[in-house]
A and B are shown apart, each in its own frame.
Chain A
Amino acid sequence: MKMPYERRKSLYGYGFIAIWAVGTVLWFLKPLIESLCYCFMDNATLKPDTGGMNKVWLGSVGQSWLTNFKFAFAADPEYKQKLIAVLKDTAITTPMILIFSLFIAVILNQEFKGRGFARAIFFLPVIIATGPVYNIINGDIASTGADSGAQFSTLFETDIVDELLEFLGVMNISDTLSSYINTVTTNIFGLVWSSGIQILIFLAALQNIPVSAKEAASMEGATSWEYFWKITLPYVSPMILANFIYTVIDSFTKSDNVVMARVLAKQLDWDYAYAAAMAWAYFAIVMVVVGIIVSIVNRFIFYEVE
């Protein structure tokens, strides 16, 4: 063969990703673009027809291009309110999950008896929490929800925390703070159950901290507190960002996401254009917020130079 080595190798590269490329065009890019187009098509005519969808652009029937989005935000009775609730919920729980999972990962990284057992328990949610079982054990099942849900959650929702806060006089300091604390404590179940993968990733990052850094810190007489802020946090900071993104994406596919449930309900009503507009609006809002946060946080992150 006369082809230069580099060229040949790059051709082999295309060969290795060829299978994926075919699949991506068929099962990812094409549907993605189509679904984006659906947002700008007439909902009334966008129905399955023999040989595909019956597509009519909004512009061609003399309607505004943003009709579907207008419908989602202004006319739909549930979407806007559910969207706000989900966004708020994501904004509150994501930092909590990150802090919590880092805390647990630091603990599980220490040496103590029964560590293997403790790890096994804390990673258990990894295999269960992505499935519909989580919904049921979280007390959220569709119709009997009120009974089983209330029954189950009384196990966890005690008023001890409230009383403690009141006793300490913390209640009077700030309503937002105490309501935040309240969310954390009443939602400890959801928190523990949704941080399995995050703990795993943080733990892997913690084990990658070079021994030399640990030794240097202990020679300098660093306390555990200083060690956490000066060594642990910088080393795991890239993974904080990765975990942040993972947590946000994970919230899309969680089975208790009400916005996605609304989208699915619209699909079942054959309102494909509305459903597409709702899903894209949600996705776009979240991605813009994530993009802004990532670009800001990225400056403060310590990347080890290799």
Chain B
Amino acid sequence: MDNEKNLTPEEITGAAETAAEAVPETAEAAAEPVKKSLSDPDHPVAKYVPDCAKPDVHEEHEVGEGMSPKEAMKIRMRNMNKEEIAYLRRKRIFEKCWPVFRFLILFGLGFVILTPLMFMISYAFRENQDMNDPTVMWIPRHLTLRIMKQTIDAMGLTNTENNPLINTLILNIGCSICQVVTCAITGYGFARFKFKGRNLLFGIVILQILVPTQIISIPLYSTFRNFLFGSVNLIDNMLVMYLPALTANGIRAGLMIFIFRQFFRGLPKELEDAAYLDGCGPFKTFIQVMVPNAASSFLTVFLFSIVWYWNDFYVASAFFTNKKTISLVLKNLDGTLNIAIFNNANANVSAREKIVWLEAACLISITPMLILYACLQKHFTEGIERSGLVG
């Protein structure tokens, strides 16, 4: 079944034909700077070109300087058969048309991605009566910050106690740092040491990637509820997020261990050998030699960890009852807004008008991530490419 690796005989002859078509072109391109005719036996590519395919050029001056590309093309075409000319024509048409199609595809899909964002921005800064005005589509008639302010208050972002934003930040940054450090250590252990049962243990890491959180959340709840043999209740305590993160078992930790393992496996072994020879222990080697080399990988995983913790609502909703995080507030946005704004007797807001507040809340909750992405976009994308996740 290796038809992808080895060419069949028909394909080889086919390839030879296409080669005959293509080679004069490339040969000519190479010939121009060298100023050697293809008929010249010393020419580097001449021996690969069949006689019939050689251009009818014997004098140096006929090729190269002073000739417009069109004329050069004409001379080249003189010796081609119909198929070759058709191939070139097809190629040229394709090269002309493709950028247009590419632009259309990318523009259309890019529009689909950006629409919700434009939608949010357009809706969040308008008065709610604009929703009933059929002439208003994208550009609001009454610009206002009132809706934003109301939503910020309703979400509790101005509270001094149990502020979702502060809760989220404490969880987010702390857990991400813990998780990146512990996952890196574990990933390094799997990448560079041989020990009994390594494959079995790594199988568990894969299992961690596969098993959805929903399955383990019930028993985990009872573990946290009766922590230390029933003496401590950890529900609503931030430790329910910190403890797993500290032991490389936080949100999507399996994936992070996997990424780090792939990355450390890709680093040259000589790096460590040199450190060992100089008398460094494995842990010192890891900190002083491997970590500096993995800086970009660390940053990428850290950023993804921040995003995942920011977006997580499942773990938070399972273990927090009173504590609020941004994504929890957003998940229960309807209820929150109903209590804070719409329950008022003077409110009298139609369902259509409510969209304004919803979009404002969405905008507020993703703005920090958007800013982070805008500033560090390179590290999000290039990090994955360089981290050796692939390969």
B244→A27 contact, CB < 8 A: yes
Of A87-95, A173-181, A204-212, the one touching chain B: A204-212
The residue that B109 contacts in the complex, of A122, A234, A276, with Cβ under 8 A, is: A122
B-side contacts of A122, CB under 8 Å = 109-110, 113
- Is A161 located at the chain interface by the 8 A CB criterion? no
A136 within 8 A of B: yes
With A27-B249, A201-B384 as known contacts, state yes or no: A219 contacts B26, CB within 8 Å: yes
Residues of A within 8 A of B209 (CB): 249
- In the complex formed, the residue of B with least CB distance to A287 is B210
Give the shortest distance, in Å, between B78 (CB) and chain A (any CB): 19
Look across to chain B and name the residue whose beta carbon is closest to the beta carbon of A16: B189
**What are the residues of chain B within 8 A of A128 when measuring CB–CB?**
311, 366, 369
Provided the pairs A35-B219, A234-B4 are in contact, do residues A13 and B194 lie with their beta carbons within 8 angstroms? yes
Which A residue sits closest to B311, measured CB to CB? A131
Across the interface, A136 reaches (CB within 8 A) one of B183, B216, B257, B358, namely: B358
**Selected contact of A144 from candidates B114, B354, B391, CB within 8 Å:** B354
- The distance from the CB of B237 to the nearest CB of chain A, in whole angstroms, is 15
> Interface segment, B32-40, B148-156, B157-165, B221-229?
B221-229
Q: In the complex, which residues of chain A have a beta carbon less than 8 angstroms from the beta carbon of B114?
A: 121, 124
CA distance A258 to B189 in the complex (A): 39
Q: In whole angstroms, how far apart are the Cα atoms of A279 and B116 in the complex?
A: 32
Assess the B214–A260 pair: CB atoms within 8 A: yes
Task: Assess the B390–A253 pair: CB atoms within 8 A.
Answer: no
A239 contacts partner chain B, Cβ-Cβ < 8 Å: yes
Contact indicator B5/A302 (Cβ below 8 Å)? yes
B247, A20: Cβ atoms under 8 Å?
A: yes
Residues on A with beta carbons closer than 8 Å to the beta carbon of B192: 13
Question: Residue-by-residue, is A188-211 near B (CB-CB < 8 Å gives 1, otherwise 0)?
Answer: 110011000000110111011000
Q: Determine the distance from Cα of A27 to Cα of B210 in the docked complex, in whole angstroms.
A: 15
When the two chains form the complex, which single residue of B381, B389, B390 contacts A123, counting CB atoms closer than 8 Å? B381
Report whether B19 and A24 are in contact in the complex, using a CB–CB cutoff of 8 Å.
no
Main secondary structure of the interface of B (DSSP, over half): helix
Contact among A22, A121, A143, A208 with B334 in the assembled complex (CB-CB below 8 Å):
A143
Cα distance A126–B303 in the bound complex, in angstroms: 11
Q: Measured between C-beta atoms, what is the minimum distance from A6 to chain B in Å? A: 8
Q: Are B380 and A19 in contact (CB under 8 A)?
A: no
| Pair B385/A207 contact, Cβ less than 8 Å | yes
Residues of the A chain whose Cβ atoms lie less than 8 Å from the Cβ of B112 = 156, 188-189, 192
Are A9 and B194 in touch, CB under 8 angstroms? yes
Tell whether, in the assembled complex, residue A10 and residue B216 are in contact, meaning their CB atoms are under 8 Å apart. no
CB neighbours of B312 from chain A (8 A)? 130-131
> Contact between B385 and A302 (Cβ–Cβ < 8 Å)?
no
CA distance A302 to B2 in the complex (A): 8
Chain B residues whose CB sits within 8 angstroms of the CB of A252 once the complex forms? 212, 214
Neighbouring B residues of A230 by C-beta, 8 Å: 4
Chain A 1-42 interface mask (CB, 8 Å, partner B; 1/0) = 000001001111111110111111011111110110010000
Selecting from B57-65, B99-107, B169-177, B291-299, the interface stretch reads B99-107
A169 on the interface (CB 8 Å rule)? no
Q: A12-B193, A203-B385 are in contact. Are A31 and B223 (CB under 8 A)?
A: yes
Interface residue tally for chain A (C-beta within 8 Å): 105
- Which stretch (B69-77, B139-147, B195-203) binds chain A? B195-203
A252 to B23, CA, bound (A): 52
Q: Flag if B212 contacts A249 (CB, 8 Å).
A: yes
Mark interface residues in B355-382 (1 if CB within 8 Å of A CB, else 0): 1001000100110011011000100110
Find the A residue at minimum CB distance from B365: A133
A155 within 8 A of B: yes
Which chain A residues border B308 with CB–CB below 8 Å?
A: 130
Closest to A196 in B: B113
CB closest residue in chain A, given B131: A151
B114, B185, B370 pick with most chain A CB within 10 angstroms: B185
Kindly list chain A residues whose C-beta atoms are within 8 Å of the C-beta of B87: 221
B213 close to chain A: CB less than 8 A: yes
Q: Which residues of B contact A143 (CB under 8 A)?
A: 334
B232 in the interface (beta carbon within 8 A): no
* Contact, CB under 8 Å: B334 / A141: yes
A127 within 8 Å of B by Cβ?
Answer: yes
A272–B218 CB distance below 8 A = yes
Q: How far does the alpha carbon of A29 sit from the alpha carbon of B219 in the complex, in Å?
A: 11
Looking across the interface, which residue of chain A has its beta carbon closest to that of B215? A279
Of all chain B residues, the one with the shortest Cβ separation from A14 is B195
Given contacts A234-B5, A299-B1, contact A19 B185 (CB under 8 A): yes
Among B19, B183, B219, B281, the residue within 8 A (CB) of A31 is: B219
Q: Is B67 an interface residue (CB 8 A)?
A: no
CB distance from B14 to the nearest CB of A (A): 9
Residues 302-332 of B, flagged 1 when their CB comes within 8 A of A and 0 if not, give 0000011011111000000000000100110
Contact of A17 among B190, B215, B218, B334 (CB under 8 A): B190
| B248 sits at the interface (CB 8 A) | yes
Chain B residue numbers with a CB within 8 Å of A192 are 109, 112-113
Q: How far is the CA of A156 from the CA of B218 in the complex (A)?
A: 39
Q: Which residues of B contact A158 (CB under 8 A)?
A: none
What residue of chain A has the Cβ atom nearest to residue B248's Cβ? A20
Enumerate chain B residues within 8 angstroms of A276, measured Cβ to Cβ: 215, 218
B15:A220 contact, CB within 8 angstroms: yes
Residue B44, interface by CB 8 Å: no
Contact A141 B358 (CB under 8 A): yes
User: Chain A residues near B120 (CB, 8 Å)?
Assistant: 137
Which B residues form the contact surface with A (CB < 8 A)? 1-2, 4-5, 15, 18-19, 21-23, 26, 87, 90-91, 94, 99, 102, 105-106, 109-110, 112-116, 119-120, 182-183, 185-186, 188-190, 192-196, 198, 201, 204, 208-220, 222-223, 225-226, 229-230, 243-244, 246-249, 257, 281-283, 286, 307-308, 310-314, 327, 330-331, 333-334, 351-352, 354-355, 358, 362, 365-366, 369-370, 372-373, 377, 380-381, 384-385, 389-391
14 intermolecular pairs with C-beta atoms under 8 Å apart:
A20-B247, A27-B220, A112-B102, A123-B381, A126-B307, A130-B308, A131-B312, A144-B334, A144-B355, A147-B352, A188-B109, A218-B22, A219-B19, A260-B214
10 pairs of A and B residues whose beta carbons are closest in the complex: A23-B247, A13-B193, A16-B189, A131-B311, A221-B22, A221-B18, A34-B219, A252-B212, A31-B216, A31-B219
Identify 8 new A-B residue pairs, CB closer than 8 A, beyond the known A17-B185, A131-B330, A300-B1: A6-B194, A16-B188, A17-B190, A19-B248, A27-B243, A28-B216, A249-B209, A252-B212
